[in-house]
Amino acid sequence: MLSNKQLKYLKSLHLRKFRQKYGILVAEGVKTVTEIFDHPGSPIEGVYAVQEWLSENVHLVSKYRDKIFAVTENELAAISQLKTPNQVLCVLKQPVFSYEDEDLSSGFSLYLDDIRDPGNMGTILRIADWFGVRWVFCSKNCVEVSNPKVVQASMGAFLRVKTQTVSLQELRANYQGLPFLGTSLAGDSIFKIDLPEAGIIVIGNESVGISEETEQLLTQKIKIPRHPNGGAESLNAAVATGIICSVLQRF
């Protein structure tokens, strides 16, 4: 049984202010938690699972015995943020990364300009992970990477892709020779321009695109051209990111 103190703490993590206060993120589901166990050095604080899952995964949890807590299905439902709780929930310290000493000139990084939808954020992290993008930078108004829906949608990518909240202006100041390419309907077709070998790709907000302030910091505007027979007004931010990363992979 969980103590009242444990229940209060775990329920507090449903709120962003407490996740930020404690520097915590919460991952749920068998697949995601298994990836956390398989990832070297995962900063696990606690694992809360029903006895059935623990019995079936002794090989995974053996080295974290002091951090494993058996819970009832009712207790798991109380601390879970899923409509239908899975068998296991993992609480871990949010990884802290610093880009200052990184050389970003050997590949592409992403910059997300006010991405608000957790599903989009998680999917973009997953796309970055697939295409080997090491860094995803976020503006201050982006949805937090520790949001449980982001963690869920990333399918473990949050463990492998480095993220940091930073202004684009600061990045430009620190990497003055690096190209900054931003998505815009007024941009040049990504299929026709000469792409650089490295740079930062800026992805705009789901509804308004790149802000005017951000646009002024770009070195080039790019777009995914719509087919002449296409009728859609725009592409989903994560879909656009996937297409762009696929194109960049060819060069």
Q: Look at the alpha carbons of 235, 240, 244, 246 in this order and tell me if their dihedral is positive or negative.
A: negative
User: Which helix (H) or strand (E) covers residue 68, if one does?
Assistant: strand 68-70
pLDDT of residue 251: 54
Please name the residue ranges forming H helices in the chain. Answer: 4-12, 16-22, 30-38, 51-56, 58-61, 73-79, 118-130, 148-154, 168-174, 212-215, 237-248
> pLDDT tens track of the chain, all 251 residues?
799 999 999 999 999 999 999 999 999 989 999 999 888 888 999 999 999 999 999 888 888 888 999 999 999 999 999 888 889 999 999 888 888 878 898 899 999 999 999 999 999 999 999 999 999 999 999 999 999 999 999 999 999 999 999 999 999 999 999 999 999 988 999 999 999 999 999 999 998 999 999 999 999 999 999 998 998 888 899 999 999 999 998 75
C-alpha distance from residue 15 to each of 134, 151, 171, 204 (Å): 28, 15, 30, 26
82 burial level (CB within 10 Å; 0-12, 13-18, 19+): middle
39 burial level (CB within 10 Å; 0-12, 13-18, 19+): middle
pLDDT of residue 172: 94
By the 8 A CB rule, do 126 and 238 touch?
A: no
By the 8 A CB rule, do 197 and 251 touch?
A: yes
Angle at 36 between CA 83 and CA 13, to 5 degrees: 45
Beta-sheet pairing, 108-112 with 135-138: parallel
Helix-helix angle 118-130:237-248, to 10 degrees: 10
Q: For 44, which DSSP code?
A: E
